[in-house]
Structure 1
Amino acid sequence: MTPREPRTSPIVPSYGESSLADLSASILASMTGDQARNVLGLQGAGRVCLLVVDGLGWELLRGHQAAAPFLSELAFNSRPLTAGFPSTTATSLGSIGTALPPAAHGVLGYQVAVPGTNRLLNALRWPKDIDPLAWQPKPTLFERAAAAGVAAIHIAPGAYADSGLTRAVLRGAQYRAAGTMGALAAESVAALESSERVLVSAYHGDLDAVGHRFGVSSPAWTYQLSHVDRLAEQIAQALPFGAVLYVTADHGMVNVAPEDKVDADLVPELRAGVALLGGEPRARHVYARPGAAADVLAVWREVLGERAWVASRDEAISYGWFGPPDYSVTDRIGDVVAAATGTSAIVASHAEPKESGFTGQHGSLTSAEQLVPMLAYAAP
């Protein structure tokens, strides 16, 4: 019997209205007075800090208010944004860093095919022979800020300072290294105090790492959330006069049990006609061998059934999953795109042993992954 299609509907990101790209665009517009691009209606400010907490989904924050009282209070009168697809760090940092949707900036997932080759580009382990500026040539938010007379500073662990992803989507900002929460708070405040007009972005990644290993809502994850809450509160309490702190995330996360994992390396049908398996367990780019795309699409739909929304490249683009397309980059999208539903995942235990073993996963179009906070605190 052919498995039924998923009964639920995907959360299609609200590009142009309330996505991560719109947050970035609105922040810069609020600093330059460009009301046409301030689609979120943010208040004007000369000094802004955007704190990005990797993995802090809206539903997770709302479900753990006791662990994060400061952030939860800010969330009380706020509304979430949509992350974008795939809901994964590289793509979301691309949207934040360029103020463009994924199909415009071209960082279309954790692993995507390099067109014209038989290889994958891992956006978090960027290959040295691919120029990040050629892969993503559009001006970044920070380059536009500098052109408008706004100083731009990015604060994150020093290991990422010269990464390919940093150069692709965060270039134009002065990079300041901070490897601990205390350093991140101190550097953020110092950066805000360094100029009358300054845009500071600060990135914290440990909540995501804890979620991957231990699972969201685990004791380890909940304790880490409490530390994040204190980090945000410390920055807020030290804001210079007139400065604004925004807090958001790149994606949410779901826990995937072993029995909910479909292993593409152990199901021969899922490898039939497939040249490359990209993406990640909750958001797969499937690249077919020449002439096999239609068969791969049909087989993936049949095998996965209700466990994923499965679309062809053209369908995924037409559904708006990736945003308005720049067709110079859409060939990076898989011939088939599979977005996991519920708590399912399509792992590859041989090819991707680390990612396949994660408890916490993200990347898809469920509300748990797509909805992220947009919290604001203005210095009195």
Structure 2
Amino acid sequence: MDLPTVSGRRHLAEVVPSVLATLGVPGYANTLALPEAAGACVLLIDGLGAELLRTHAEYAPVLAGLTRATLTVGCPSTTVAGLAAIGTGLAPGEHGMAGYTFEVPGCGVLNALRWRRHPGGGELDLVPEEVQPLPTTFERAVAAGVGAVVVAEAKFAKSPLTRAVQRGGDYRGVYAIGDLAAETLRALREPAGFCYAYHGQLDELGHRYGPGSPAWLMQLRQVDRLVESLVDGLPPGRLLAVVADHGMVALDDVIDLDRAPALSAGVRELGGDPRIRHVYAAPGAAEDVLAAWRETLGSRAWVVSRAEAIAAGWFGPRVTDRVRPRFGNVIAAARDQFGMVRRTAEPLESALIGQHGSLTPAEQLVPLAIARS
């Protein structure tokens, strides 16, 4: 079986380390060859894939004109893993935020966005700093004497995911594009430091209406205005790097895992999301589960063992012993526009048109846009 790889391109996890290297934070290298700056901001546009930006460049002429490179986001191509890549400078095999939902051994399947048991929403006794114990890029910046600011939605200020991957930053909560732009520019005007800003509404509309839909395109236009405002307001010597955490596809072929008996035999737990599934097998059942999923899904998905996925580099160049069990014994990654929904267990997620998580270029590749005053 020919498996896709995520090697051969620069990785999303290199963005913040490259920025911090330009600001003099020790232990980081400027692998992206970013220009030197007296201060810098990384703006992450959730859900803005490179293919989507290229296809709809007329709606985002500023972003399209500033794009200097294309990065890969690694596997899984989800917000949780992307935010962790920004927040640790590492790929999933090391930071361990293994997807939208994944099993933490001995604790159950965690919905990492809601920090609740999945499915069902029950409480899990999981400390964010223990689920992701590695130092964050924000902590390392502050330790080196570089100020670190996080500008994102106010409702996420004290969330467990923020604690897991963005701790150490001075969190400044905002409510809309207007104060996101204003607060980001304020942070850039402060003495030399690092600012991370996040915009999530493009992803939300892509999920609900589909990427490329009229609503999505109108939001892309607003995102471009946001970037234009930041570029126009950049203080002297400051750098702006705009990236994304993943792209998106619109599903046109699905299987309901809750109504597929052949895919439940020997399965202890299911994680992931509709585009990539972690399949946790009962003891001794992994080989049978792998065979059943391969036979049932056929050419609609890459279905591999955990060992095969690791060998193919899906989770980065290194997978630690702490993290390895969080990936399924079997991983099913959707091809084309296929989805593996769970209409009973995951009604909200299963109703969404736009999805991401797998290894197609539409999901994997994101733009890197650069501006410097």
Please tell me the TM-score bracket, short chain as reference.
over 0.9
Q: Distance in 1 between matches of 2:91 and 2:5?
A: 15
Say which SS state the counterpart of residue 224 (structure 1) adopts: helix
Task: Determine which structure has the larger strand proportion and give its number.
Answer: 2
Counterpart selection for 2:99 from 103, 106, 109: 109
* Residue in 1 that maps onto 2:345: 351
Residue pair 1:53, 1:203 contacting (<8 A) in 2 also: yes
* Residue in 2 that maps onto 1:342: 336
> Does 2:142 match 1:146?
yes
Counterpart selection for 1:331 from 325, 333, 336: 325
Counterpart selection for 1:322 from 309, 315, 323: 315
Residue pair 2:115, 2:160 contacting (<8 A) in 1 also: yes
* Residue in 1 that maps onto 2:165: 169
Normalising to structure 1: TM-score of the pair? 0.94
Residue pair 2:18, 2:28 contacting (<8 A) in 1 also: no
Q: Distance in 1 between matches of 2:295 and 2:350?
A: 22
Q: Distance in 1 between matches of 2:335 and 2:6?
A: 13
> Does 2:205 match 1:210?
yes
Counterpart selection for 2:216 from 215, 221, 228: 221
> Does 2:45 match 1:53?
yes
* Residue in 2 that maps onto 1:312: 305
1:222–1:11 CA distance, 2 compared to 1 (3 A): farther
Residue pair 2:26, 2:144 contacting (<8 A) in 1 also: no
Residue pair 2:17, 2:30 contacting (<8 A) in 1 also: yes
> Does 2:275 match 1:282?
yes
Q: Which runs of 4+ in 1 moved over 3 A?
A: 33-36
Counterpart selection for 2:358 from 356, 364, 368: 364
Q: Distance in 2 between matches of 1:162 and 1:348?
A: 30
Q: Distance in 2 between matches of 1:152 and 1:336?
A: 39
RMSD: 1.3
- Residue by residue over 1:33-52, the C-alpha shift from the partner in whole angstroms, topping out at 9 and shown as x without a partner, is 75961111111112101100
Say which SS state the counterpart of residue 69 (structure 2) adopts: coil
Q: Distance in 1 between matches of 2:76 and 2:141?
A: 26
Q: Would you say how many aligned residue pairs link Structure 1 and Structure 2?
A: 365
Residue pair 1:340, 1:364 contacting (<8 A) in 2 also: yes
1:179–1:325 CA distance, 2 compared to 1 (3 A): same
**Residue ranges of structure 1 left out of the alignment (5+ in a row):** none
- Residue by residue over 1:226-266, the C-alpha shift from the partner in whole angstroms, topping out at 9 and shown as x without a partner, is 00000011011101101010000000000102xx0111111
| Within-5 A mapping of 1:367-378 | 367-378=361-372
Residue pair 2:25, 2:144 contacting (<8 A) in 1 also: no
Normalising to structure 2: TM-score of the pair? 0.95
Which is worse superposed, 329-338 or 34-43?
Answer: 34-43
Identity within the alignment, %: 52
Q: Distance in 2 between matches of 1:358 and 1:129?
A: 29
Residue pair 1:105, 1:136 contacting (<8 A) in 2 also: yes
